[in-house]
Structure 1
């Protein structure tokens, strides 16, 4: 359907990750232990889990917010959990050579 829109038409794109509304202050990053908070990044932890448990040729991992005012919850690394272990397993694979993460840490200066 989008291909039939006139050239240059701007339309809203739903956000896949949490982000503050326009004009609001910093986004308070909740604890990764909260199941509701973790669900916001469901795609990330599914991908990490699959990359950690299966054989694959992946040697680079990049989570890029691509200029959006959002990123991965930085509190995922506070204490050991399944996602933390999967992330470590991915980084520990033979041949792994590149990592780039965009981390959401807006209100973490408090």
Structure 2
């Protein structure tokens, strides 16, 4: 199975959220609309989450607005005060757009 670092990052955020809020795997699975067994396989890397589960994980993470707001405020402040930070973000966005365009072209070929 190919390693997908974006999925790994999403799962790390989910684990951090679960640890912070003291959720069991069963509670986390219920919030995601899947079984505890399926979640366990995903967290152990034995099963790659599909699009629906990935979207559900993202939605659960984004619904936790307080840390997101704090993060966004920090990023906004750094962007306003640091030319190097703005340059790094611009470079990252160019790479992300390029990957998105490549993925869209790949989907059209399928």
Q: Same fold (TM over 0.5)?
A: no
Higher strand share: 1
Higher helix share: 2
- TM (normalized to structure 1)? 0.24
Of structures 1 and 2, the one with the larger relative CO (CA 8 A, separation 6+) is 1
- TM (normalized to structure 2)? 0.24
